[in-house]
Amino acid sequence: MDIHKAYCSSPIGTIEITGNEEGITTLNFIEKTTADTPDRVLNPVRDKTKIHHSLKECIQQLDEYFNNSRKEFDLKLNPEGTEFRKKVWDKLVKIPYGKTKSYLDIAKQMGDANANRAVGNANAKNPICIIVPCHRVIGNTGELVGYSGGMWRKEWLLNHENCAVFGKQTVLF
């Protein structure tokens, strides 16, 4: 099955989306551009007629999320990963907008409080950022830890969602 790519602009950088008829496979920030970077990365396509139909809805929902008109995504997802990682990612999708969970919370939900390091590893390997909201996972004592897109993006996303961390308003910058 063919994998298709699309790019979209966001307030926190250019996002590359890949997917096929089975669903979205990856969603990641593009950090650096090179001489070989296609022009569409530097100037993301906004003409949806040029975007494969399997990715159009994702771009629309991301636009709505960044414009504060969407709090939940309704997309077919098809991430590649181990069964354990997929179970963790399924838990992440259930963290509500504006809320956070700790690695320990998720490990307990999975039935093994000792698995919080494994949960952290699965969180770090999440191939579909924002939609599978790994940015909503924080350290066990409420500290902000790790985010593959950069801590500044994690802070931005939590502020965007007006997250409360252990009863405190998250004003991070």
Q: Does 8 qualify as catalytic in the annotation?
A: no
Two structure tokens written together for 65: 């999320």
Q: How far is residue 23's CA from residue 63's CA, in Å, rounded to a whole number?
A: 18
CB 56 within 8 A of CB 48: yes
Q: Which of 8, 58, 134, 163 is catalytic?
A: 134
Secondary structure (DSSP) of 102-147 = EHHHHHHHTT-GGGHHHHHHHHHT-SBTTTS-GGGEE-TTS-----
**SS3 category, 101:** strand
Name the pairing type of β-strands 101-102 and 137-138.
parallel
Q: Which residues are catalytic?
A: 134
